[in-house]
Structure 1
Amino acid sequence: MQVLHENTNKKGAFYVMVNQNKEAEMTYTWAGTDKIIIDHTEVSDVLRGQGVGYKLVEAAVHFMRDNNVKAIPLCPFAKSVFDKTPEYADVLFKK
């Protein structure tokens, strides 16, 4: 399963396509040049129960590490993944 990424420098998303349909997506909004606000995660019934939401967060973490970006996870699902995964703490924005 491949997680794709689109980024307009104002907003962006990590997503999974199945049969040319977007079946999972985690969206974010840029907050300046070095922070993103993760605002929504959704996985369709087609992919539910396969850990796809976690894969979306993992892809975002790799992107943030590669680009020296920090996250503010406002989405409840993404926040729960960050809370359960201490090895992702390096990409969290700390005030």
Structure 2
Amino acid sequence: MQQIEIQHEEGAGRGRYYAKVDGAPREAELTWVERGDVRHATHTYVPDEARGQGLAEQLVKAMLADARDGGFRIAPDCSYVATYFRRHPELAELRA
């Protein structure tokens, strides 16, 4: 899995984790919306140019690290994030 720099931006109760992908017209991203102490992971997108390289997983791991540090939980509204939580039951304390 290639390490790519994941960046984070947020404001007004919503945000995203994202990474530039060489040769792609659009960034890879995981978007979220905040409701109380829960951040709802709403969508994960990886351009065709970067699929199969573990980039979506890196986006989710960045959000999980922030959840641990920031004291919020994650509602996996996005199918990729829901699948990630199913495959990693040890993360149950971070799931809303």
Both proteins in one fold, TM over 0.5:
yes
1:22: how far off?
A: 4.2
Alpha carbons 1:23, 1:46 under 8 Å: kept: no
Per-residue deviation, 1:87: 2.6
Deviation at 1:62, TM superposition (A): 0.2
Task: Give the aligned residue type for 1:38.
Answer: A
SS of match in other structure, 1:71? strand
Q: Kindly provide the amino acid, as one letter, of the partner of residue 21 in structure 2.
A: V
| RMSD, aligned CA | 1.5
Task: Tell whether 2:61 aligns with 1:58.
Answer: yes
Letter in 2 for 1:40: H
**CA distance, structure 2, for counterparts of residue 35 and residue 56 of structure 1:** 17
Using the size of structure 2 for normalisation, the TM-score is 0.88
Which letter maps to 1:11? R
Partner of 2:33: 29
Task: Decide which structure has greater strand share.
Answer: 1
1:21–1:4 distance in 2 versus 1, CA, 3 Å? farther
Tell me the number of residue pairs that the alignment of Structure 1 and Structure 2 aligns. 92
Structure 2 runs not aligned, ≥5 long: none
- Which residue does the alignment assign to 2:7? 4
Structure 2 distance, partners of 1:9, 1:84, is 31
Corresponding letter in the other structure for 1:5: H
Post-superposition offset of 1:7: 1.1
Is 1:14 the equivalent of 2:17? yes
- TM normalised by structure 1 equals 0.89
1:38 matches 2:41? yes
Deviation for aligned residue 1:9: 4.0
SS in 2 for 1:49: coil
% identical equivalent positions: 33
Which amino acid letter does the alignment assign opposite residue 31 of structure 2? T
Structure 1: which 4+ aligned runs deviate by more than 3 Å?
19-22
